[in-house]
Amino acid sequence: MMNRFRKWLYKPKDNVLNIINQIMDACIPQDRAPRDFCVKFPEEIRHDNLAGQLWFGAECLAAGSIIMNRELESMAMRPLAKELTRSLEDVRGALRDQALRDLNTYTEKMRDALRHFDVLFAEFELSYVSAMVPVKSPREYYVQQEVIVLFCETVE
């Protein structure tokens, strides 16, 4: 029951972020923030609703909430959460302005807003997920890859 509620709660946010991601792919494909760190996330974290949960988490932190008894991490992330939510509003405003003008061209103001938002969202994603679950270190990830290679060689 709780999973259905979460999906209902985050669905509109996911839709907005999916549209913004599609616009960023079309508008600033070479300027996207790297997200290589996502491979370090545990499998159960990587799902379709993650972006919506991150947006909700940023809104809650910006409003002064504390995430799951993690007061120090919450206080450290609060400035980033505030900047992210402000940046998202800037992007939404730029997209509204663009929709009223020409849908086939992207203004520099809109490109700048998208770049800034993308960088902030990537930073927030890494810090929020790292605060919520243990994220593998580069060494742990390397060891996991070695085990996978050894397993594949054994199977062959």
Question: Quick one: pLDDT at residue 11?
Answer: 59
| Residue 74 pLDDT greater than 90, yes or no | no
* Residue 94: closest CA among 9, 28, 2: 28
CA nearest 131: which of 45, 52, 2, 43?
45
Domain with 18 in it: 1-153
Classify the phi-psi angles of 68: left when phi > 0, otherwise alpha if psi is within -120 to 50, otherwise beta. Answer: left
Count, residues in the chain:
156
Query: What is the per-residue burial (b if ≥16 Cβ within 10 Å, else e) of 123-151?
Result: bbbbebbebbeebeeeeeeeeeeeeeeee
Residue 131 · residue 98 · CB < 8 Å:
no
Mean pLDDT of the chain: 81
Confidence tier at 124 by pLDDT (50, 70, 90) = very high
Is 118 in contact with 28 (CB distance < 8 Å)?
yes
Q: Is 26 exposed, middle or buried (0-12, 13-18, 19+ CB in 10 A)?
A: exposed
Whether residue 98 has pLDDT greater than 70: yes
Rounded to whole angstroms, how far apart are CA atoms 155 and 148? Answer: 11
Top mean pLDDT of 93-97, 116-120, 137-141, 144-148 is at 116-120
**What is the spatial distance between Cα 40 and Cα 139, in angstroms, rounded to a whole number?**
11
The number of distinct structural domains making up the chain is 1
